[in-house]
A and B are shown apart, each in its own frame.
Chain A
Amino acid sequence: GNSVTQMEGPVTLSEEAFLTINCTYTATGYPSLFWYVQYPGEGLQLLLKATKADDKGSNKGFEATYRKETTSFHLEKGSVQVSDSAVYFCALDTGGFKTIFGAGTRLFVKA
């Protein structure tokens, strides 16, 4: 079946450090891939997405590239800020309706 696996947290970084949160998936067909973010006290919101292989999604300095050969969609940011502290969810959608989410990775950024 379809599934998403992302690295366990929490991840703790100092401000301006490089961030990578790994995400791999298992899916039939050709899924769309997403990263959602949940800031403290707020609801989940879409951060970025990619709908086909080799696409790169980007937003707010975050990037993720859809790698079909490695079934991965790792989230990266070159220089994190305290305001990036949140829980990040990797997700996939095979074009049906049950968007499947990973377990979430909590990121703490220290000043």
Chain B
Amino acid sequence: GAGVSQSPSNKVTEKGKDVELRCDPISGHTALYWYRQRLGQGLEFLIYFQGNSAPDKSGLPSDRFSAERTGESVSTLTIQRTQQEDSAVYLCASSRKTGPGTEAFFGQGTRLTVV
């Protein structure tokens, strides 16, 4: 597609339920990132994928969070047993390569509300 696509755009879920967020990167982009943006705060790094290399999961806040990506295609971020503190906008970004000055292209995000 022309840009990074995320779905759903909005998700309201009950506390304790599992949710799955989807990201379609730009075709040909080998790098994919997930960030979390809490209301009024900056972007919190969650996880990074680069091609077929092992992902960098160092930003995942707890073992309730996991993400998958097959090759250079779609990625899913799963949050198990959601808590109210998980409410945020989850942003996905992709880039063609890593290296100095590489631009990241962002999706419009999934707004997750846990009630």
Q: Determine whether the beta carbon of A97 is less than 8 Å from that of B98.
A: yes
Residues of chain B within 8 A of A103, CB atoms compared: 41-42
Decide yes or no whether A62 CB sits under 8 A from chain B.
no
Interface residues of A in 90-106 (CB under 8 A from B): 93, 95-104
Decide yes or no whether B65 CB sits under 8 A from chain A.
no
Q: Determine whether the beta carbon of A98 is less than 8 Å from that of B56.
A: yes
Residues of chain A within 8 A of B107, CB atoms compared: 43
- How many pairs of A and B residues are in contact by the CB < 8 Å rule? 59
Q: Which size bracket describes the interface of B in this complex?
A: 20 to 34
Chain B binding site: helix, strand, loop or mixed by DSSP? Answer: loop
Q: Determine whether the beta carbon of A32 is less than 8 Å from that of B42.
A: no
Q: Determine whether the beta carbon of A43 is less than 8 Å from that of B50.
A: no
Decide yes or no whether B48 CB sits under 8 A from chain A.
yes
> Which residue of chain B lies nearest to A41 when distances are taken between CB atoms in the complex?
B108
Decide yes or no whether B33 CB sits under 8 A from chain A.
yes
Q: Determine whether the beta carbon of B48 is less than 8 Å from that of A49.
A: no
7 interchain residue pairs of minimum CB distance: A103-B42, A101-B43, A51-B101, A44-B106, A43-B106, A43-B108, A32-B101
What are 20 A-B pairs at a CB distance below 8 A? A30-B100, A32-B101, A34-B103, A42-B108, A43-B108, A43-B109, A44-B43, A44-B106, A45-B106, A46-B103, A51-B101, A93-B100, A95-B100, A97-B31, A98-B45, A98-B58, A98-B59, A99-B104, A103-B41, A103-B42
